[in-house]
Structures are given as structure tokens and as C-alpha cells.
Structure 1
Amino acid sequence: MTILDLKKHLIQRISEINDSNFLEAIKTILDTKSAVISLTVEQRAEIKQSQEQINQGIFITQDQLDEEFEKWADEN
């Protein structure tokens, strides 16, 4: 199925839907796909700093964090 065929198929299927909640969900998906995220200078700097820390091995894995949390929770 080509992209054009898929678009036509989706348009046809959407036109048959009468459930407003379902249509709102589709709208949310479409809005999310087309949303442009604008970052501030500070946010870009924080992301760059985080990437540098990861490259230097300065991070903790989710498993390590979970273990630390479990230890902390057991102590309290």
C-alpha cells in the first residue's frame, strides 16, 4: 500500500467514526506528531551537559537506582 493509498484509507475510516472520544484520541496523536518542541538556551545547555556526563560514564542505571531505592526504603 502506498502512502497515498494509506492516507485515502485512513480518511475513509475516520469519516465513518462517530465516537467523539475516539476522534479526540486520533486528534491528540496527530497533534503530537506535528508538534514542534522549542527548547530554551538553558534546556539545550542542560541536555548537552547530560550527554557529556553520559559519555564520561557519570551516570547511574535504572537498575542501580532501583537497588539504592530499595535499600533506602528498607532502612526507613
Structure 2
Amino acid sequence: MKLKINFLVLYKLKYNEMTTSDLKNVLIHKISEIDDISFLKAIKVILDSKTNNEILMLTDQQKEDIMASKKEVESGLIFSEKELDKEIQEWLSVK
């Protein structure tokens, strides 16, 4: 049975017919055979970077900055990139 599964996996890999689910199952199987703790930790770091569901904690200062920025937007105190570029060009052209 294991030989049949491996042949099917190789066939799917060769002909790019492996689905995401197939690939996940292959990876789970291969990872379960690894005993090298440092290698497993490295894999965990990679996986954590793609599945990071951690809640971002903001400092009080960051929260205040966000609220101040929201108030500026609500008050119309914002400029488009084009407007800023134009203003910079005008400023640079004055000698």
C-alpha cells in the first residue's frame, strides 16, 4: 500500500497534478518522519511566518498616533501624493 501511495505522489509531482490538499498530506507525512529537533524548529519558524494569527498589541503612544491620524483625515487635513509632489516642486523651483 505504501508503495502505491508513493508512486501516486511521484506521478502527481511529476505532472503537476498535486492539489494543495495532496501537498499538505505529503508534507505532514514527511515531517512526521523527521526526528531532528533543530530542523523541526526551523520548519516551525517558516510555518509560523505564514500562519501568524497573533494579535498585534499596540503601545499607548501608537494608539494615540492612530487616533490623531484618524482625526486629521476626518478634518480633511490630508494631501494626495500628487498635491505633495506639486508643492515640493514649487518649493524647489523657488530660489
Segments of structure 2 that go 5 or more residues without pairing to the other structure are 1-19, 28-45
Note the C-alpha offset of 1:54. Answer: 0.2
Task: Give the number of aligned pairs.
Answer: 59
> TM (normalized to structure 2)?
0.44
In our comparison, the structure showing a higher alpha carbon Rg is 2
Match of 1:45 among 64, 70, 79: 64
Q: Which moved more, 1:54-63 or 1:30-39?
A: 30-39
The 3 A distance-change label for structure 1 pair 67 and 38 is same
CA RMSD of aligned residues (A): 3.4
The equivalent residue for 1:31 is 49
Q: Give, in whole Å, the separation in 2 of the partners of 1:71 and 1:33.
A: 47
Segments of structure 1 that go 5 or more residues without pairing to the other structure are 12-26
> TM (normalized to structure 1)?
0.53
